Each structure stands twice: as structure tokens, then as C-alpha cells.
Amino acid sequence: MTTFSHADVPLWAAVVGSAFLLLGAGLTLIGAFGLVRLQSFYERIHAPTLGTSWGMGGMILGSIIIFTSASARPVLHEILIGVFVTVTTPVTLMMLGRAALYRDRSELNPGVPPETPDDSFATAMVERKEAPSHSEQEVVSQRP
């Protein structure tokens, strides 16, 4: 790995790269600002995605432009950061979202869609009622 000095970066790359960096940082800041300001959990979930989509994208593009122009070869490994952030964000978001949904449903909070009954579970219950199991019949016959 070679080291860079700021003198290696041409002016155009410094300007364009910094613009992308500021764009990304600005979007992430606005997202953080929204996270604080919005009221409900489900609204808040949307604000930080600014940082994980184009906030991150802008910073990565800025980094690629500056380091590629400073060294002789293309520097592209930042793309991996983008890929991994994009692919792993849904995992945490779904976990948080479903936990909130579960809590709101069990606390019967208003404004949350009710849980739709699961068809497979419903049919399984119907089948059980139609054909009572052996042990249940025994319990019934033992009663006086």
C-alpha cells in the first residue's frame, strides 16, 4: 500500500470528491435530524435510511474519486462497503420493525394494523376440532 499526500490529488477531483462527500454527509445529518424530530417509531424508521442509501453512496463516490485520481490505479474497494451496508440494513430494520409491531399489537395500541390470522394455523385448528384426539375422547368418557 502506498501513501498519498494532498498534493497528489488534482484540483477537479478534490472539488468533485468533496462535493460528493458533503452531499453524503449532509444527507446523513438530515436523516439523523429527522430521527430526533419525528414522533412515532414507524416514522422514525424512515429517516436514517437517508444515511444508508445516498448518504453512504455520496461518501463512497467521493472516496473513490479522490483516491483513484491520487493513485495511478482505480480504487474501488469502497464499493464493498456499499454492498454490505445495503444488504445488511434490511436485517436490522426488519428486526426493529417487527419487534415494535409485536409490542404494539400485544399492548393493543391504536394505529397498528391487526394481525391477520394465519390460514395454515386456522385450518389446523378446524381439523383438530373435527377429529378430537384419542386422549380428549378418554377425558370425555371418564366424566360421570
Q: Which run of H or E residues covers position 79? A: helix 78-106
Q: How far is the CB of 107 from another protein (least distance, A)?
A: 16
Per CB under 8 A, 71 contacts another protein: no
Cα of 60 vs its chain's centroid, Å: 18
14 vs 97, which CB is nearer to another protein? 97
Q: How far apart are CA 36 and CA 106, in angstroms?
A: 26
Taking CB under 8 A as the criterion, which residues in 15-34 touch another protein? 27, 30-31, 33-34
Q: Does 136 contact another protein by CB under 8 A? A: no
135 binds another protein (CB under 8 A): no
Contact status: 110 vs another protein (CB under 8 A)? no
The secondary structure of 44-71 as a DSSP string is: HTTTTHHIIIIIHHHHHHHHHHHHHHHS
Q: Is 9 helix (H, G, I), strand (E, B) or coil?
A: coil
The dihedral built from the CA positions of residue 109, 41, 116 and 95, taken in this order, carries a sign that is negative
Residue 42 is given by DSSP the state: H
Looking at residues 79 to 108 of the shown chain, list those that interact with another protein (rule: CB under 8 A): 79-80, 86-87, 89-90, 93-94, 97-98, 101
Binding site for another protein (CB under 8 A): 27, 30-31, 33-34, 37, 40, 42-43, 45-47, 49-50, 52-54, 73, 76-77, 79-80, 86-87, 89-90, 93-94, 97-98, 101, 112-113, 116, 118-120
